[in-house]
Homo-oligomer: A and B are copies of this chain.
């Protein structure tokens, strides 16, 4: 499997992503390189972890996923490769891989230590190019994870803010975990959690401020009206038909929302 995806905070203004790709193609000229996301905010490990989680499952089995949001580069943080039942994940061990790994069955975690698989000299500021890129390319050539370094029993995980089912209050409490380019507000409230309401029509609130009804698709409400939909990442997502919900509702990452059944008299 020659397929490698890249998720970074390197942006596309500079040559950083290009240099990583060059380093990969030096090792495996047949590698197929696909950008997942590069405009993760600088140093935003959580944002990178979310983008990776949202994008990785759509790739063929055996794909190597590299994620480099690495503010601790050059310091004591470790570099790892993780083999799961379906994929390989390569990156700094700072949690950027952890949201994706939480959804995978982990088979092996290895510390990247064998310098035979690094580009030399290894800089202190750009392990994306000097360590993660060549390691990913060797993986894509079939080098087994054992070759890269000693086994680890765990990896750094970020806390995922679980949505809370408040059965007594008849509501689900969650928060906004991502704002996408359209200004849609992606929450942490998953489709399976929503099943507690069965087929009842529901509404989304910010505290006690009524935000919008849940609807099947964007165009189910009039242009300029807010709604919540079952989003493409599996989470409830607040949108405004034809506009930015982030702007119109003045909400962002970390803001709490809750879902309640629709009550006519409210």
- Are the C-beta atoms of B74 and A216 separated by less than 8 Å? yes
B residues near A38, Cβ cutoff 8 Å? 12
Q: Which chain B residue has the least Cβ–Cβ distance from A50?
A: B15
- Are the C-beta atoms of B217 and A14 separated by less than 8 Å? no
B residues near A17, Cβ cutoff 8 Å? 35
Q: What separation, in Å, do the CA atoms of A217 and B60 have in the docked complex? A: 36
B residues near A3, Cβ cutoff 8 Å? 25, 29
A196 in contact (CB, < 8 A): no
B residues near A119, Cβ cutoff 8 Å? 58
Copies, count: 3
- Are the C-beta atoms of A35 and B59 separated by less than 8 Å? no
Instruction: Determine how close the nearest CB of chain B comes to the CB of A71; give it in whole angstroms.
Output: 6
Q: What separation, in Å, do the CA atoms of A83 and B216 have in the docked complex? A: 31
- Are the C-beta atoms of A13 and B25 separated by less than 8 Å? no
B residues near A14, Cβ cutoff 8 Å? 37, 51, 54, 178, 180-181
B residues near A57, Cβ cutoff 8 Å? 22
| Contacts known (A14-B181, A32-B25, A124-B216); A19 close to B54, Cβ less than 8 A | yes
Q: What separation, in Å, do the CA atoms of A130 and B244 have in the docked complex? A: 23
Q: What separation, in Å, do the CA atoms of A241 and B42 have in the docked complex? A: 11
B residues near A232, Cβ cutoff 8 Å? 19, 123, 125-126, 129-130
Q: What separation, in Å, do the CA atoms of A241 and B3 have in the docked complex? A: 33
Q: What separation, in Å, do the CA atoms of A123 and B235 have in the docked complex? A: 11
B residues near A34, Cβ cutoff 8 Å? 18, 21-22, 25, 33
B residues near A181, Cβ cutoff 8 Å? 10-11, 13-14, 16, 42
- Are the C-beta atoms of B73 and A217 separated by less than 8 Å? yes
Q: Which chain B residue has the least Cβ–Cβ distance from A27?
A: B60
What are 12 A-B pairs at a CB distance below 8 A?
A: A13-B39, A15-B54, A16-B180, A16-B181, A22-B57, A58-B119, A71-B219, A71-B241, A75-B219, A125-B217, A126-B231, A130-B232
New contact pairs (13) apart from A23-B58, A72-B219, CB-CB < 8 Å: A3-B25, A3-B29, A7-B15, A10-B181, A12-B12, A12-B39, A16-B180, A18-B37, A42-B182, A43-B182, A74-B219, A123-B231, A125-B230
